[in-house]
Copies of this chain bind each other. A is one copy, B any other.
Amino acid sequence: MQMSKLAFIPSKTPPANADTINHRLLVQAGFVRQLMAGVYTYTPLGLRVLRKIENIVRQEINLLGAQEILMPALHPKANWLATGGWNDIDVLFKLKSQTNREYALGQSHEEIVTPLAKELIKSYKDLPLSLYQIQWKYRDELRSKSGILRGKEFYMKDMYSFHADQADFEKFYQITKNAYLKIFKKLNLDAKVTEASGGNFSDKISYEFMVLTDAGEDDILYCDACSYCINTEISKVKAGSPCPKCGVALKQAKASEVANVFDLGQKFSKAFNLQFVDQNNQQHYPIMGCYGIGISRIMGVIVEKNHDQNGIIWPKTISPFPAYLISLEGEEERAQKIYDTLLKNNIEVIWDDRQCSAGRKFADYDLIGLPIRLLVSKRNQDQIEWQTRTNKKAELIGSKELINRLKLEK
């Protein structure tokens, strides 16, 4: 990708209305544009990050044996009436057709996946079953703020599982929890498993995966000594109280919910009369679980957690490109050769080939925040200067070494 051809390039000034770091840096560096509160366009750079997060999630979820499908965003009213959601869920967007048919926009997909599963599940032999999708969701949020952390339109991985009994659900919940923790490790995020309320979905306790950040909208109590963590919404104790697991004083912090797990019980299987027959020919309603990961929110949270005063610091697993090649004046020809050689080796970098000052290029590199900065300048003769975004120590390397190193970064 040549910067001279990239439409959305970094801006010298931050957006006027940004209330959070992710909003400010993602707009200023050219990853997103706000259409209205809670609704964003993703630029070529932003879309690459979103796809990388999505693919890390997909890879781990596929390993669970879950099958990827894609359900619509436009839902018939009848499905939402069946569960009471039509009247009870205030964030449900509703609309009417020209002929006065009523629809909802999917804010979650239990109302669609349960009737779908009804066709697939007849007997205990069809269980367990897990289906997932990566799909845009729509919620009529009263306060859409915090950049891409709380959207009216947001991107989510939502998985739904169906089980013969509670024990089987618990087993699947444990392996999903481990997959989630693996995903967050790959994303360079420390996510705390937090007890929370079941919200609209369930009257049972749910588990949220919380990342500490002041841009978050949740308050959690957590223990530094063990893994105990609880949402203040359901906690009976306060900051400073002893941890119920290990006795150490609990701390309070703002956090953002990047994922969650709900034990749905039989609420949805009963609402849609989804039953299976067991070995003794008895009918039962399956136990259901639902498991979300906020893909677009994670992109925002990663910026909140990975930046400095000069810009974003992308973890290499989700960086839109592995490196940023800067050519100083007069070195365009040599940079072109390096860029072409990298492309031939299937390594796509950003090449800042613009006719602008070196200072502008360095500043824009820091703002965009790729892991590696490569500099082609007269002073370095036929070598290339290699520097990382976080460690300013520069090294001079040849182009063979460059290719070898970048192959390792992929």
Contacts and interface: CB of A to CB of B under 8 A. Distances in A.
A339 interface: no
Nearest to A36: B76
Contacts of A72: 35, 39-41, 153
Contacts of A131: 7
Contacts of A70: 41-42, 46-47, 50
Given A35-B72, A116-B41, A7 B67 contact: yes
A136 interface: yes
Contacts of A163: none
A73 B136 contact: yes
A24 to B, nearest CB: 17
Contacts of A98: 90-91, 140, 142
A74 interface: yes
A93 B43 CA distance: 25
A74 B153 contact: yes
A116 B6 CA distance: 14
B44 A152 contact: no
A251 interface: no
A5 B44 contact: no
A246 interface: no
A98 B90 CA distance: 8
Nearest to A8: B120
A105 B42 CA distance: 17
A262 interface: no
Interface in A304-363: none
Interface residues of A, number: 48
Contacts of A120: 7-8
Contact of A47 (B65, B69, B75, B152): B69
Contact of A35 (B42, B76, B97): B76
A140 B97 contact: yes
A140 B96 CA distance: 9
A35 B75 contact: yes
Interface string A98-135: 11000001000000100010011000000001010000
A71 interface: yes
| Most chain B CB atoms below 10 A, which of A8, A41, A153 | A41
A19 to B, nearest CB: 19
Contacts of A74: 39, 138, 152-153
A33 interface: yes
Contacts of A138: 73-74
A237 interface: no
A94 interface: yes
Given A8-B120, A41-B69, A93-B97, 17 more contacts: A5-B65, A7-B120, A7-B129, A36-B76, A39-B72, A40-B72, A41-B70, A41-B71, A44-B67, A44-B69, A47-B69, A50-B70, A72-B153, A73-B153, A74-B138, A90-B98, A91-B98
| 6 A-B pairs closest in CB distance | A95-B95, A42-B70, A39-B72, A41-B71, A74-B153, A44-B67
24 contacts: A5-B65, A6-B67, A7-B67, A7-B131, A8-B69, A35-B72, A35-B75, A36-B76, A40-B72, A41-B70, A41-B71, A41-B72, A41-B112, A42-B69, A42-B70, A43-B69, A47-B68, A73-B138, A91-B98, A93-B95, A93-B97, A98-B140, A99-B142, A136-B136
